[in-house]
């Protein structure tokens, strides 16, 4: 069941049209698919038609309206093969299947949850609805007829434009939809049920009016207002920035509460996890608002990057995902603060993608082989894919990048294409050769760039030695040097920018230095005094950079750089050695110390009113325990890391107590709640101050008072997190947790926060707490959001609890994975990836983790999803 890119070939049959009729029933839905095919020119006239299926039951099969003799086809739940088909004329195949939406706990294909029928077809869910050439390079226009019980399902939705509807016999009705834009099956969607709606309209740049509808559970309509606002802003932005106009009369979003992922870009009918639609000040945090804005934009942007131009095969997933993440990042940067957005992106990239890229699950942005495509919806394909797109924009500059994008839209509209096609557009638009650059798509592993600089006062030259090393990754032992675009600046002692008279040894375009060789010596001429080098500004390339700069140089960058991302990076680089040393000290039983240059620089940034509050909050957020483990690079002792980080936090808290107290007062926001980025930044800085103040106090009193005074979910959940994580099991914390649960018992998304906050409480008692929480009446195993809140937070974000020294956390997770896998393999496989870095643990824990993994590996009846992940994680 291994699929290889090299084996790609087009289908033997061309699909001309798809006509689907659904007779909806909770347990016995009848699907009639009428498919018109013709044999592709130049293919074997005897080749059979082979269609994909997954757990299907065939109930009827007609060829041009006549029953097919049994000898002319073979059918299993997984496929249908039809022989002796016309050599050149088109023919119609009518396939009837019967499926059970209620029993579909995988949440792939057509399923029914909370009384709503909905679909998820990417990547290979359509084959759970009918036999079909279920691959992204088979494009056709679809007509969809939906018949259903009228009372239970007043709403009948599918892709495209509404054709009409009417009554249909006793108590039933039907609706017909037509999508004129040829699309692959993974973009098919159907929704039926009884939902409330929020409506609006959007006038496109050519003056067409588009009806906008967001469907949510009755009573939740007011909580969809922000999503609607984000949608309209996204539509406008895509017109202005990329010249992309919407192409149907209606755009719909449906929010459902049981969904395996964030959201899905089905043509004209996006389906969302309701977590990324519903928000109001009482129940959503600033982070929730920012996520909603980004994901609404992401799915909308797919209309062009994904739907109008799609992927030839699933190896090309980054063609739509990397590009669309880049587009949503740019949208958020334009709507909010660009440097703060960049800092958040890089934090996410480093904490999620870097570990993936350096562990057993590492794979290229454009892989060449897979066993289970669902396991390739990864941060490498999405986030590193976005970084690669960003680098193309960096290499070409804004205008040529725009020209390349225009060419891409022009040249490939309506097609299913490859990464090579995409890159070619930028080569053709710019005249550049991007062959070496393309290695970013093909070579896995985070490059390590080593830099060292030397100033020579006599010759007034600054010499920079650069070297790149790309680590070996599974299946790729030797690598070629890559094209690494490093944004940079040279700063004088007073912070002023130094412009070199000339440079040799590398190309410099604007502020981008091009590293293209394995090793390069770059000489900057005409440098009047020793410069301080700011390298990889704005994180222009996703690398690990080893550059031993003095604390003085880093402090200078943190103070003067005009690139605020670089300031933040300098603060991190100042802090890291202290954190790493603290871990060593804790392990040796020595008292933890901390360099005052770091503490001073951090507090100076926190106290600098010329900086945005959101930036200052980012500066105060130290690297996470997982980040520290990654920087240590092995022999991870989670308890030592936790203790070391706590000690440094306490030191900062004590030194900065007056600053934090002043910030806590001055950052108070007044007036009604607004989710805008500036107000969110003030809340973030204020809550960061509160966290430090609580560290210093060592008592929950202040956080409890903040909890009681909070009038929005951002402040409320921040206070509750401080209480729970710093002061677990105190009376104040218990009271706040009970209050929170009682107040929000009717709101599943808020109860998810209640579970997640408790799942993150550090220490060896975490496991017992998790097990108790699983007994709570509100714990629902069938709900992916709930499982991710509790088990996901525990496994991904609680290193001391999950990584308890006796291995009980790993063992517990193994049992849970095996259980979840029976119902929802995708969810099980995703949570299992939390164990990907097990080899970095200290030997005793690594042994426990390994036994837990081996137990999964040896269990019978594993899904393809879990089998693939566990095999790769364990592979030597």
C-beta of 317 vs 570, nearer to ligand ARG: 317
Tell me which of ligand ARG, Zn ion, none is bound by residue 286, counting a contact when its beta carbon lies within the kind-specific cut-off of 5 to 8 angstroms.
none
The residue count for binding ligand ARG (CB under 6 A) is 11
Instruction: Compute φ and ψ for 269, nearest 5 degrees.
Output: -145, 75
Q: Which does 271 bind (CB under 5 to 8 A by kind): Zn ion, ligand ARG, none?
A: none
Residue 272 interacts with ligand ARG (CB under 6 A): yes or no: no
ω into residue 132 within 30 of 0, thus cis?
no
Nearer to ligand ARG, 374 or 733 (CB): 374
Q: Is 306 left (phi over 0), alpha (psi -120 to 50) or beta?
A: left
CB 321, CB 441: distance < 8 Å:
no
Q: How far is the CB of 294 from Zn ion (least distance, A)?
A: 11
Residue pair 128/54 in contact (Cβ under 8 Å)? The answer is: yes
Instruction: Please give the distance of CA 122 from its chain centroid, rounded to a whole number.
Output: 15
Stretch binding ligand ARG (CB under 6 A), from 72-80, 167-175, 256-264, 275-283: 256-264
Closest contact distance (angstroms) between CB of 137 and Zn ion is 18
299 catalytically annotated: yes
Among 23, 32, 122, 821, the residue binding ligand ARG under the rule CB under 6 A is 122
Selection from ligand ARG, Zn ion, none that 814 binds (CB < 5 to 8 A by kind) is none
Q: Closer CB to Zn ion, residue 321 or residue 335?
A: 321
331 binds, among Zn ion, ligand ARG, none (CB under 5 to 8 A by kind): none
Binding mask 327-366 for ligand ARG (x = CB under 6 A): ----------------------------------------
Which residues make up the interface to Zn ion (CB under 5 A)? 321, 324
Q: Label residues 385-405 b or e (16+ Cβ within 10 Å = b).
A: bbbbbbbbbbbbeeebbbbbb
In the list ligand ARG, Zn ion, none, the entry touching 856 (Cβ below 5 to 8 angstroms by class) is: none
Least distance from C-beta 327 to ligand ARG, angstroms?
A: 12
CA distances from 785 to 433, 751, 790 (A): 45, 10, 9
* Rounded least distance, CB 106 to ligand ARG, Å: 10
Count of helix runs (H) and strand runs (E) in the chain? 29, 33
Smaller CB separation from ligand ARG, 265 or 330: 265
Q: Which of 23, 238, 265, 561 binds ligand ARG (CB under 6 A)?
A: 265
Among 32, 122, 124, 299, the active-site one is 299
Q: How many CB atoms sit inside 10 A of residue 45's CB?
A: 10
Provide the residue count of the chain.
876
Nearer to ligand ARG, 323 or 533 (CB): 323
Task: Tell me the C-alpha distance between 589 and 575, whole Å.
Answer: 21
Distance CA 703, CA 52 (A): 57
Evaluated on CA atoms 240, 242, 244, 250, the torsion sign reads negative
SS3 148: strand
The verdict on 315 binding ligand ARG (CB under 6 A) reads: no
Segment interacting with ligand ARG (CB under 6 A) among 258-266, 389-397, 593-601, 786-794: 258-266
Cβ contact 386:325 at 8 Å: yes
- The verdict on 372 binding ligand ARG (CB under 6 A) reads no
Nearest CA to 783 among 740, 824, 726?
824
Structure tokens at 149: 């019980």
Task: Establish if 419 lies at the interface with ligand ARG (CB under 6 A).
Answer: no
Residue among 556, 565, 550 at smallest CA distance from 494: 556
Other beta carbons less than 10 A from residue 609's beta carbon? 8
Which partner from the list Zn ion, ligand ARG, none does 625 bind, CB cut-off 5 to 8 Å by kind? none
Contact between 264 and ligand ARG (CB under 6 A)? yes
Member of 299, 553, 612, 752 binding ligand ARG (CB under 6 A): 299
Residue 276 vs 744, nearer CB to ligand ARG? 276
Beginning with the edge strand found earlier in the chain, give each strand of the sheet holding 79-82 in spatial order.
49-52, 79-82, 73-76
Select 681 or 784, whichever has its Cβ closest to ligand ARG: 784
User: Residue 122 or 335: which CB sits closer to ligand ARG?
Assistant: 122
Nearer to ligand ARG, 330 or 627 (CB): 330
Query: Is the Cβ–Cβ distance between 129 and 186 less than 8 Å?
Result: no
Binding partner at 377 among ligand ARG, Zn ion, none, C-beta below 5 to 8 Å by kind: ligand ARG
- Shortest spacing between CB 321 and Zn ion, in angstroms: 5
d(CA 327, CA 305): 9
The region of 261-269, 276-284, 474-482, 528-536 touching ligand ARG under the rule CB under 6 A is: 261-269
> Which position among 321, 352, 563, 816 is part of the footprint of ligand ARG (CB under 6 A)?
321
Measured at the CA of 296, the angle between CA 293 and CA 297, to 5 degrees, comes to 80
- Can you tell me the distance from the alpha carbon of 454 to that of 420, in angstroms, rounded to the nearest whole number? 40
Q: Residue 107, interface with ligand ARG (CB under 6 A)? A: no
Q: Which two tokens stand for residue 247?
A: 């192409």
DSSP classification of residue 624:
P
| Closest CB 299 distance from ligand ARG, rounded Å | 6
Shortest separation between residue 262's beta carbon and Zn ion, angstroms: 8
Q: Which stretch binds ligand ARG (CB under 6 A): 141-149, 262-270, 644-652, 790-798?
A: 262-270
Indicate if the alpha-carbon torsion angle 401, 405, 411, 417 is positive or negative: positive
Residue 558 — φ and ψ, nearest 5°? -60, -25
Is the CB of 303 or the CB of 837 nearer to ligand ARG? 303
Residue 110 lies near ligand ARG (rule: CB under 6 A): no
**Contact of residue 726 among ligand ARG, Zn ion, none (CB under 5-8 Å per partner type):** none
Calpha distance 773→755 (Å, rounded): 8
SS3 state at 75? strand
Per CB under 6 A, does 187 bind ligand ARG? Answer: no
122 binds, among Zn ion, ligand ARG, none (CB under 5 to 8 A by kind): ligand ARG
When binding is defined by CB under 6 A, the residue of 263, 491, 846, 862 that contacts ligand ARG is 263
CB of 732 to ligand ARG, least distance (A): 41
Q: What are the residues facing 35 on neighbouring strands? A: 18, 93
CA–CA dist 820, 574 (Å, integer): 43
Helix (H) or strand (E) holding 104: none
Window of 65-73, 240-248, 263-271, 693-701 that interacts with ligand ARG by CB under 6 A: 263-271
* In the block, residue with structure tokens 């993936």: 356
State in angstroms the smallest separation of the CB of 374 from ligand ARG. 4
Residue 261 near ligand ARG by CB under 6 A? yes
> What is the Cα–Cα distance from 834 to 106, expressed in whole angstroms?
20
Q: Which residues pair with 468 in a beta bridge?
A: 449
Q: Near ligand ARG by CB under 6 A, which window of 187-195, 259-267, 489-497, 772-780? A: 259-267
Nearer to Zn ion, 120 or 324 (CB): 324
Q: Can you tell me the distance from the alpha carbon of 92 to that of 72, in angstroms, rounded to the nearest whole number?
A: 15
Q: Is 689 in the site for ligand ARG (CB under 6 A)?
A: no
Q: Which residues fall within 8 angstroms of residue 50, CB to CB, at 6 or more apart?
A: 79, 80, 81
Render the burial of 508-522: b for 16+ CB within 10 Å, e for the rest: beebbbbbeeeebeb
- Return the number of the residue (261 or 770) whose C-beta is nearest ligand ARG: 261
Identity of the residue, 298 or 642, whose beta carbon is nearer to ligand ARG in the bound complex: 298
Find the residue with minimal CB distance to ligand ARG.
Answer: 377
Which backbone phi and psi does 134 adopt, to 5 degrees? -85, 75
The correct pick among 123, 309, 395, 737 for binding ligand ARG (CB under 6 A) is 123
Catalytic residue numbers?
299
Q: Which residues bind ligand ARG (CB under 6 A)?
A: 122-123, 261, 263-265, 298-299, 321, 374, 377
């Amino acid at each position: 069941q291994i699929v290889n890119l090299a084996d790609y070939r087009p289908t033997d049959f061309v699909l001309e049209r798809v006509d689907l009729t659904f007779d909806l029933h909770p347990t016995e839905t009848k699907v009639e698919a009428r498919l018109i095919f013709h044999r592709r020119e130049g293919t074997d006239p005897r080749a059979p038609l082979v269609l994909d299926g997954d757990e299907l039951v065939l109930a009827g099969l007609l060829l041009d309206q006549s029953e097919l003799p049994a000898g002319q086809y073979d059918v299993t739940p997984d496929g249908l093969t039809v022989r002796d088909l016309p050599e050149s004329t088109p023919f119609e195949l009518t396939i009837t299947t019967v499926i059970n939406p209620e029993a579909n706990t995988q949440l792939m294909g057509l399923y029914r949850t909370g009384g709503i029928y909905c679909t998820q077809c990417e990547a290979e869910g359509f084959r759970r609805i009918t036999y079909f050439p279920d691959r992204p390079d088979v494009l056709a226009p679809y007509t969809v007829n939906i018949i259903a019980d009228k009372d239970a399902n007043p709403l009948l939705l599918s892709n495209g434009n509404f054709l009409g509807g009417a009554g249909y016999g006793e108590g039933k009705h039907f609706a017909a939809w037509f999508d004129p834009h040829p699309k692959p099956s993974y973009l098919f969607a159907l929704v039926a049920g009884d939902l409330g709606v929020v409506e609006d309209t959007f006038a496109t740049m050519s003056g067409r009016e588009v009806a906008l509808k967001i469907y949510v559970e009755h009573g939740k309509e007011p909580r969809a207002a922000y999503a609607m606002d984000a949608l309209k802003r996204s539509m406008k932005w895509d017109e202005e920035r990329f010249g992309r106009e919407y192409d149907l009369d209606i755009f719909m979003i449906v929010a459902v509460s049981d969904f395996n992922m964030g959201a899905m870009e089905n043509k004209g009918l996006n389906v969302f996890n309701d977590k990324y639609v519903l928000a109001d000040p009482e129940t959503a945090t600033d982070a929730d608002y920012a996520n909603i804005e980004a994901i609404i934009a992401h799915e909308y942007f797919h209309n062009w990057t994904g739907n109008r131009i799609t992927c030839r095969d699933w190896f090309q997933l980054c063609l739509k995902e990397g590009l669309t993440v880049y587009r949503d990042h740019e949208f958020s940067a334009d709507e909010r603060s660009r440097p703060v957005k960049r800092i958040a992106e890089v934090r996410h990239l480093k904490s999620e993608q870097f570990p993936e890229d350096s562990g057993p699950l590492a794979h290229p942005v454009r892989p060449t082989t897979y066993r289970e495509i669902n396991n390739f919806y990864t941060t490498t394909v999405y986030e590193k894919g976005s970084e690669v797109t960003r680098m193309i924009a960096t290499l070409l500059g804004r205008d040529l990048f725009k020209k390349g994008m225009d060419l891409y839209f022009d040249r490939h509209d309506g097609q299913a294409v490859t990464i090579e096609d995409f890159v070619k557009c930028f080569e053709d638009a710019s005249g550049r050769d991007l062959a070496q650059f393309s290695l970013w798509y093909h070579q896995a592993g985070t490059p390590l760039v080593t830099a060292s600089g030397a100033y020579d006062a006599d010759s007034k030259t600054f010499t920079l030695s650069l070297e790149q090393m790309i680590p070996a990754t599974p299946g790729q032992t030797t690598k070629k040097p890559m094209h690494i675009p490093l944004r940079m600046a040279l700063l004088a002692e007073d912070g002023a920018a130094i412009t070199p008279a000339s440079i040799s040894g590398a190309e410099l375009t604007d502020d981008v230095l091009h590293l293209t060789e394995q090793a390069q010596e770059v000489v900057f001429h005409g440098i009047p005094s020793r410069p301080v080098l700011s390298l990889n500004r704005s994180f222009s390339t996703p690398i690990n950079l080893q550059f031993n700069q003095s604390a003085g140089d880093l402090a200078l960058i943190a103070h003067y750089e005009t690139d605020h991302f670089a300031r933040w990076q300098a603060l991190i680089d100042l802090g890291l050695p202290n954190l790493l040393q603290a871990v060593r000290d804790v392990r040796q039983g020595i008292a933890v110390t901390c360099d005052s240059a770091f503490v001073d620089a951090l507090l100076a940034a926190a106290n600098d009113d010329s900086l945005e509050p959101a930036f200052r909050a980012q500066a105060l957020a130290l690297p996470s325990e997982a980040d520290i483990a990654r920087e240590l690079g092995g022999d991870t002792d989670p308890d030592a890391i936790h203790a070391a980080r706590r000690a440094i936090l306490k030191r900062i808290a004590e030194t900065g107590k007056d600053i934090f107290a002043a910030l806590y007062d001055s950052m108070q926001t007044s007036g009604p709640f607004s989710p805008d980025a500036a107000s969110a930044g003030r809340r973030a800085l204020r809550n960061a101050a509160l966290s430090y103040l609580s560290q210093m106090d060592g008592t929950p009193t202040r956080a409890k008072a903040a909890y009681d005074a909070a009038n929005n979910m951002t402040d409320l959940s921040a206070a509750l997190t401080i209480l729970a994580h710093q002061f677990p099991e105190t009376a104040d914390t218990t009271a706040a947790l009970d209050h929170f649960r009682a107040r929000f018992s009717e709101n599943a998304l808020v109860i998810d926060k209640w579970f997640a906050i408790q799942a993150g409480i550090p220490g060896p008692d975490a496991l017992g707490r998790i097990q108790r929480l699983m007994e709570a009446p509100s714990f629902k195993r069938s709900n992916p959001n709930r499982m991710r809140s509790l088990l996901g937070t525990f496994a991904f974000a609680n290193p001391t609890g999950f990584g308890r020294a006796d291995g009980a956390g790993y063992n517990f997770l193994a049992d849970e994975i095996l259980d979840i896998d029976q119902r929802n393999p995708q969810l099980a496989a995703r949570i299992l990836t939390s164990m990907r870095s097990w080899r970095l643990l200290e030997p005793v824990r690594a042994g426990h983790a390994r036994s837990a993994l081996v137990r999964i590996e040896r269990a019978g009846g594993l899904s393809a999803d879990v089998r693939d992940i566990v095999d790769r994680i364990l592979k030597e």
